[in-house]
Amino acid sequence: MKDNNAPIIEVKNLGTAFEGFWVHKNLNLTIYPNRIITIIGASGCGKTTLVREILMLQPIAEGEILLNGEEISRYNIEDADTKLVLSKIGMMFQQGALFSSLTVLQNVMFPLVEYTNFSEATIKEIATLKLKLTGLPESAYSKFPKEISPGMQKRVALARTLVLDPKVVFLDEPTAGLDPNSASDFDELISNLQKQLGLTVIMITHDLDSIWSISDEIVYLGEKKVLFHDTVIKAANYKEIPQLYDYFNGPRGRLTKQAHLEQKNGGVQ
Partner 1 sequence: MYKESSNQKLVQDTLAEFSQQAEIITLSGSWLWSTINEKNFNSKLSQIKHSKLVTVNGINIDKIDTTGIYFIIRLIEYLKKNNIQLTKLELNSSDSKLYERLSTQSSTPTSKQPADNSKLLARFGRSLVDGFKISLSLISFFGLFCFNLIRFIKSPLHLDWREVSRSINDAGLKGLWVACLLSFLLGITLAYQMAPQFTTYGANVYIVNFLGIAMLKEVSPLMTAVIVAGRTGAAITAEIGTRKVQEEIDALQTMGISTMQRIVLPKVLGVMIAVPLITSVADMASMLGGAIVSNSSLGVNYSLFLSRMQSYVSINNYTCGLIKSIAFAFIVALVGCFCGLRVKGNANSIGEATTKSVVSGIILIVVIDAIFGIIFKALGV
**Contact set with partner 1 (CB under 8 A):** 80-81, 83-85, 87, 100-101, 105, 112, 114-119, 122, 124-126, 128-130, 132-133, 138, 141-142, 144, 146, 162, 164-165, 196-198
**Cα gap 210→207, rounded to integer Å:** 5
In angstroms, what is the minimal distance from the CB of 63 to partner 1?
23
- Closest to partner 1 by CB, 47 vs 167, is 167
In angstroms, what is the minimal distance from the CB of 249 to partner 1?
37
- Closest to partner 1 by CB, 119 vs 181, is 119
**Cα gap 173→160, rounded to integer Å:** 16
Q: 100-117 burial by CB neighbour count: b if 16+ within 10 A, else e?
A: eeebbbbbbbbbbeeeee
- Closest to partner 1 by CB, 165 vs 179, is 165
Measured CA to CA in angstroms, residue 97 lies from 22, 31, 106, 152, 195 at distances of 28, 26, 14, 13, 25
**Cα gap 107→249, rounded to integer Å:** 41
* Angle at the Cα of 98 from the Cα atoms of 93 and 101, rounded to 5 degrees: 160
- Closest to partner 1 by CB, 132 vs 252, is 132
In angstroms, what is the minimal distance from the CB of 210 to partner 1?
23
In angstroms, what is the minimal distance from the CB of 216 to partner 1?
19
